[in-house]
Amino acid sequence: MAETYPWKLAWITGASGAICSEVTKRLAADGVTVAATARSADKLAALAAANDRIKAYPADVLEPDALKAIVAGIESALGPIGLALFGAGMYAPFDIRNIDLDGFHRTMALNVDGVINGVAAVLPSMLQRKSGHIAIMGSLFGYSGWPGNGSYGASKAALINLAESLKLDLEGTGIDITIVNPGFVDTPLNASYDQKKKLYVISADKCARRILAKLGDKPYEIAFPSKVEGFLKTVRSLPRSLSFPLIRWFTRQTEQP
């Protein structure tokens, strides 16, 4: 049975990626028009070929003016954007003995600047209409620092903080904020992450289903799997004298052959 959603039109960045392409296809199949953004026009064209409700709007999220133009183009052609889902993101390994500064800077730029550029582009018309829903793809790794995750974790922690600020700033404006924090998803994004340290991995399709099962209710937070969420939130809430030894103990367990 088709799901019903509270939005007629969604704008999704990272729409050609593993998780957001599944979200895009599922929304379109259930009657939502999706304006799909990523850099690769070819991948977006292939996505759009799957369903008439998917419209390709290629852009680089690191270019704020291009995003403003994209939003203006989408809204004049398709109507008001009900949902803006910011999913463009990347992972770069973090080796404390050989810090990849370029990887760090690129990760922070795409994962953080890429999101706020999108928010800045879509927010003015949402504020004018006094309605809209902004969803940000974070990660469970944003809840706590983790060995070897200094780039990605820092970028996702920034998004969790940003989402909290947006939530507070936008109270009473009619605009809802959701931070989406999945755990490991089997996608090309984390291909370079040590396989034996990936726990509770789910497929991109399952991830999309779990997001969409809740997103229409516009909760502040969607996080899964619950075991990893519970562990990381517990770690976060402990005094540091307990949390650091606990993380060290936990990571030693997953380093066993």
Ligand X SMILES: NC(=O)c1ccc[n+]([C@@H]2O[C@H](COP(=O)([O-])OP(=O)(O)OC[C@H]3O[C@@H](n4cnc5c(N)ncnc54)[C@H](OP(=O)(O)O)[C@@H]3O)[C@@H](O)[C@H]2O)c1
| 3-class secondary-structure state, position 21 | helix
Q: In the chain, at which residue ranges do the beta strands (DSSP E only) sit?
A: 9-13, 33-37, 54-56, 83-86, 132-137, 175-182, 185-186, 202-203, 221-224
**Binding-site member from 110, 158, 160, 247 for ligand X (CB under 6 A):** 110
Q: Say whether residue 237 binds ligand X (CB under 6 A).
A: no
Chain-centre distance of CA 161, in angstroms? 14
Q: Say whether residue 19 binds ligand X (CB under 6 A).
A: yes
**Binding-site member from 47, 53, 67, 89 for ligand X (CB under 6 A):** 89
Q: Say whether residue 154 binds ligand X (CB under 6 A).
A: no
**Binding-site member from 23, 28, 38, 67 for ligand X (CB under 6 A):** 38
Burial tier of 151 (Cβ tally within 10 Å: 0-12, 13-18, 19+): buried
CA 169, 77, 68, 5 dihedral sign is positive
Q: Which of these, 198, 219, 222, lies nearest to 210 by C-alpha position?
A: 222
| Distance of closest approach, residue 148 Cβ to ligand X, in angstroms | 15
Give the span between the Cα atoms of 217 and 225, in whole angstroms. Answer: 19
Nearest residue to the partner ligand X, using Cβ: 17
Q: Say whether residue 206 binds ligand X (CB under 6 A).
A: no
Type of residue found at 77? A
For ligand X, give the closer residue by CB, 6 or 64: 64
**Binding-site member from 39, 68, 129, 197 for ligand X (CB under 6 A):** 39
**Binding-site member from 103, 153, 182, 225 for ligand X (CB under 6 A):** 182
**Range 124-153, binding ligand X (CB under 6 A):** 137, 139
Binding site for ligand X (CB under 6 A): 13-14, 16-20, 38-40, 43, 60-62, 87-89, 110, 137, 139, 182, 184-185, 187-190
